[in-house]
Structure 1
Amino acid sequence: MTILVTGATGNIGRKVVDQLLARGATDVRALTNNPGKAALPAGVEVAEGYLGRLDSLPPAFAGVDRMYLAPAPGNVSEVLALAREAGVRHVVDLSGEPESWWGSVCTAVEGSGLAWTHLWPADFMENTLMWAPQIRETGSVREPRPESASAPIAMIDIAAVAATALLSDGHLGRAYSLGGPEVLSRTALVGHLATALGRDITFIESSRDETIEALRSAMGDRAIWYVDNVLTDFDPDPESLPITSVADITGRPATTFAEWATDNAALFTAD
């Protein structure tokens, strides 16, 4: 049973490869646009290509039974048509609820005729790295809604869920809302980072435009999209957020933000 991981050198795809190997998978194929720089583990079959180049996909799909699908909203229907033609049976996609900005992915997957498992993650813990430049330069974080809350999830936990779903038929037809183990406000996240870095970090409530300007050095023009689309989506009612999904699916505790911050503290101090 060959499992294809698309986006295999991306932030989550690379971790999916590792999680599959950790669970004993022996027939893993990794799709990457630059095999020479991929540095994938021994025993992983490397296929050159990427989802944006459709003519590279048929060789990568050949003999594949299951596939992790990185988000490709621009041409997802065409990708899935090629996968189905090649005999792919089950797709585990990273997407979002139908009404979300990644919703077109899960809608296309369901319409493809392939068996599916949707992964709908909450805010990534790694997104706090966008604060790193202003923490280094000013010792502060600027955002408009200090008490807005989410259940942020570590990418390694998303990858663990993906690997679990790829290795079992018990997750077919399931859509999993994935959250971390705690509901945390934006100020609580900053507090955990301050502890991990061993320094004071001030949260400064700011306007939309001030927030965008503070994030530009880390995100460029994507700061506008992030502030207008992501920050506004944090649930004002934390009681409604899923916080046990990773443990429920994988049987292992999810990463706490305090653990993640401690493990990644160096990323906030390095230029």
Structure 2
Amino acid sequence: MTILVTGATANIGRMVVDQLIAGGARDVRALTIDPEKAALPAGVEVVRGHLGRPERLGAAFEGVDRMYLAPSQGDVSEVLEVARAAGVRQVVDLSGEPESWWGSVCTAVEGSGIEWTHLWPADFMENTLSWSQQIRAAGSVREPHPETASAPIAMSDIAAVAATALLTDGHLGRAYSLGGPEILTRAELVAQLADALDRDIPFVRSSREETIAALTPTMGDTTGWYVDNVLLGFAPPPESLPITSVEDITGRPATTFAAWARANAARFAEG
């Protein structure tokens, strides 16, 4: 059974490759735009390709039974047509609820006729790295709503769920809302990060414009969209947040933010 991982050198895709190998997969094929720089584990078949050019993906899908579909902002319908024609039987996609900004992906997957498993993650713990520059420069974090809560999830846990869905039965037709093990406010995230860095990091309530100015050095052109759609426009009630999904699916406890912060503390000090 050959499993294709798209976006195999991106953050989560690379982790999916590792999790598949750790789970005993023997036939893993990795799709990347630059095989020469992929640096993937021995035994992984690396093929060149890009989801934005589906007409060139026929060889990549040959003999593939299951695939991990990395998130894509473009239309993936043609990619899925190529996959179905090649005999792919299951797609595990990283997307979002149909009404979200990633909803077009899961809609296209369901319309493809291929069996599917959707992964709908909460806020990534890694997104807090957007605070790194302002922590180094100003020693604080500026955002508009310190009380906004989420159940942040580590990318490695998302990858573990993806690998589980690809390697084991019982996941077809399931849409998994994935979250970390705790509901934390933005202020609590900063406090736990301060503990990991062993320094004081005040949370400063700021306006939209001040927040954009503070985040732009690390987020660039996407800052305005992120502030408007995530920090200002996304506030689910805490009781709706998933906090047991990773352990329920993989059988292993999800990573806590405190543990993630300790493991990644050096990344906040990098210039």
Range into which the TM-score falls when normalised by the shorter chain: over 0.9
Q: CA deviation at 1:234?
A: 4.0
The CA deviation string for residues 171-209 of structure 1, in whole angstroms up to 9 with x for no partner, is 000000000000000000000110111111010000111
Higher mean displacement: 235-244 or 183-192? 235-244
Q: Distance in 2 between matches of 1:101 and 1:236?
A: 15
Aligned to 1:121: 121
Aligned to 1:224: 224
SS in 2 for 1:221: helix
Q: CA deviation at 1:237?
A: 2.1
Matches within 5 A, 1:192-231: 192-231=192-231
The CA deviation string for residues 12-45 of structure 1, in whole angstroms up to 9 with x for no partner, is 0000000000000000000011111110000100
Aligned to 1:109: 109
Question: Given that residues 149 and 234 in structure 1 are in contact (C-alpha distance below 8 angstroms), is that contact kept between their aligned partners in structure 2?
Answer: no
Matches within 5 A, 1:128-207: 128-207=128-207
Q: Distance in 2 between matches of 1:266 and 1:99?
A: 37
SS in 2 for 1:192: helix
SS in 1 for 2:7: coil
Question: Given that residues 144 and 232 in structure 2 are in contact (C-alpha distance below 8 angstroms), is that contact kept between their aligned partners in structure 1?
Answer: no
Say what the alpha-carbon RMSD is for the aligned residues: 0.9
Q: Distance in 1 between matches of 2:243 and 2:45?
A: 35
Aligned to 1:76: 76
Q: CA deviation at 1:231?
A: 1.6
Unaligned runs of 5+ in 1: none
Question: Given that residues 75 and 104 in structure 2 are in contact (C-alpha distance below 8 angstroms), is that contact kept between their aligned partners in structure 1?
Answer: no
Q: Distance in 1 between matches of 2:92 and 2:233?
A: 24
Q: CA deviation at 1:233?
A: 4.6
Q: Distance in 2 between matches of 1:77 and 1:251?
A: 33
Number of residue pairs matched by the alignment: 271
Aligned to 2:66: 66
SS in 2 for 1:196: helix
Aligned to 1:262: 262
SS in 2 for 1:258: helix
- Output the amino acid matched with 1:34: D
- Output the amino acid matched with 2:191: G
Question: Given that residues 122 and 150 in structure 2 are in contact (C-alpha distance below 8 angstroms), is that contact kept between their aligned partners in structure 1?
Answer: yes
The CA deviation string for residues 226-264 of structure 1, in whole angstroms up to 9 with x for no partner, is 011112354352122110000000000000000000000
CA change 1:236–1:33 in 2 (3 A) is: closer
CA change 1:68–1:122 in 2 (3 A) is: same
Aligned to 2:56: 56
Aligned to 2:238: 238
Unaligned runs of 5+ in 2: none
Q: Distance in 2 between matches of 1:204 and 1:72?
A: 34
CA change 1:166–1:236 in 2 (3 A) is: closer
The CA deviation string for residues 68-106 of structure 1, in whole angstroms up to 9 with x for no partner, is 000123121011011001110100000000000000000
- TM-score, L = length of structure 1: 0.98
- Output the amino acid matched with 1:242: P
Q: After TM superposition, which residue ranges in structure 1, 4 or more long, deviate above 4 angstroms?
A: none
SS in 2 for 1:92: strand
- Is it true that 1:247 corresponds to 2:252 in the alignment? no
Aligned to 1:100: 100
Q: CA deviation at 1:221?
A: 1.4
- TM-score, L = length of structure 2: 0.98
Percent identity over the alignment? 76
Q: Distance in 2 between matches of 1:236 and 1:16?
A: 28
- Output the amino acid matched with 1:133: Q
- Output the amino acid matched with 2:57: L
Q: CA deviation at 1:56?
A: 2.7
